């Protein structure tokens, strides 16, 4: 961050991780944060944070749907940094593709044309790794192979996240947007304390970023 007044957009800002990202940015001192939510979003997590930190004046709520290009344009105008956390979690491939991949394409195109792109942070998932060709018990890490056939494994979420990453790399390079792709393991902490057995995990507490 070079300036705390820089425009920052957080998508999925009322989500489990997104709300925490907003909280951490506010604690860092950022005061020009745009929080993207869908019209039907409960906004419970976000509202609780804004109330607790008395930060309503540092945040602008942008309502829309990332599947709609015009909503993305409204969201990114004058924004230089995007934390993209919105994603499709539905069981259908159609849901995963539109909410993870099409939404990301719309957002990147809008960012390139109407934003002031300095960095696009894409939150992907360790779900894109595959243990299909790995030895039983071998650790899954950044060097593990990427899933090649999510459709054959009926894994709509992974399909959406792989397509999302592809789009970030393609459009990021073509339009000159500096980007980074993060692949967290299962995240747990306040708001989601259940930890599936044997999973790769990241703990989200009040001091983590």
Give dist(CA 57, CA 48) in Å, integer.
Answer: 14
Residues in the chain: 209
Q: Could you say whether residue 187 binds ligand NAP (CB under 6 A)?
A: yes
Q: Could you say whether residue 86 binds ligand NAP (CB under 6 A)?
A: yes
> Which one of 25-33, 53-61, 110-118, 182-190 is the stretch in contact with ligand NAP (CB under 6 A)?
182-190
Residues 32-71 that bind ligand NAP (CB under 6 A): 37-38, 41, 65-67
The answer to whether 51 and 23 are in contact (CB under 8 A) is no
Q: Which is nearer to ligand NAP, 11 or 32 (CB)?
A: 11
Q: Which is nearer to ligand NAP, 4 or 206 (CB)?
A: 206
H-only helix segments in 77-205 = 93-96, 103-114, 156-175
Q: Which is nearer to ligand NAP, 26 or 62 (CB)?
A: 62
Which residues of 49-134 form beta strands (DSSP E)?
59-63, 79-84, 119-123
Q: Which is nearer to ligand NAP, 53 or 181 (CB)?
A: 181
User: What DSSP state is assigned to residue 11?
Assistant: E
Instruction: Count how many Cα atoms sit within 13 Å of the Cα of residue 161 in the half-sphere of its side chain.
Output: 23
Q: What residue ranges bind ligand NAP (CB under 6 A)?
A: 11-12, 14-18, 37-38, 41, 65-67, 85-89, 99, 103, 123, 125, 184, 186-187
């Amino acid at each position: 961050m070079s300036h705390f007044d820089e425009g920052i957009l957080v998508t999925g800002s009322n989500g489990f991780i997104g709300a925490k990202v907003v909280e951490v940015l506010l604690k860092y001192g950022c005061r020009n944060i745009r929080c993207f939510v869908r019209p039907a979003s409960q906004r419970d997590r976000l509202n609780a944070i804004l109330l607790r930190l008395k930060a309503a004046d540092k945040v602008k709520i942008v309502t829309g749907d990332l599947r709609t290009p015009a909503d993305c344009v409204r969201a990114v105008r004058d924004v230089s940094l995007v934390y993209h956390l919105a994603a499709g979690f539905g069981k259908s491939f159609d849901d995963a593709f539109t909410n993870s991949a099409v939404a990301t394409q719309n957002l990147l195109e809008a960012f390139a044309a109407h934003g002031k792109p300095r960095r696009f942070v894409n939150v992907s998932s360790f779900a894109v790794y595959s243990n299909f060709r790995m030895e039983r018990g071998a650790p899954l890490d950044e060097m593990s192979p990427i899933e090649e056939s999510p459709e054959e494994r009926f894994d709509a979420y992974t399909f959406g996240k792989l397509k999302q990453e592809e789009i970030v790399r393609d459009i990021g390079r073509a339009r000159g947007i500096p980007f980074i792709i993060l692949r967290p393991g299962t995240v747990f902490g306040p708001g989601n304390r259940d930890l599936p057995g044997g999973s790769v995990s990241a703990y989200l507490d009040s001091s983590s970023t």
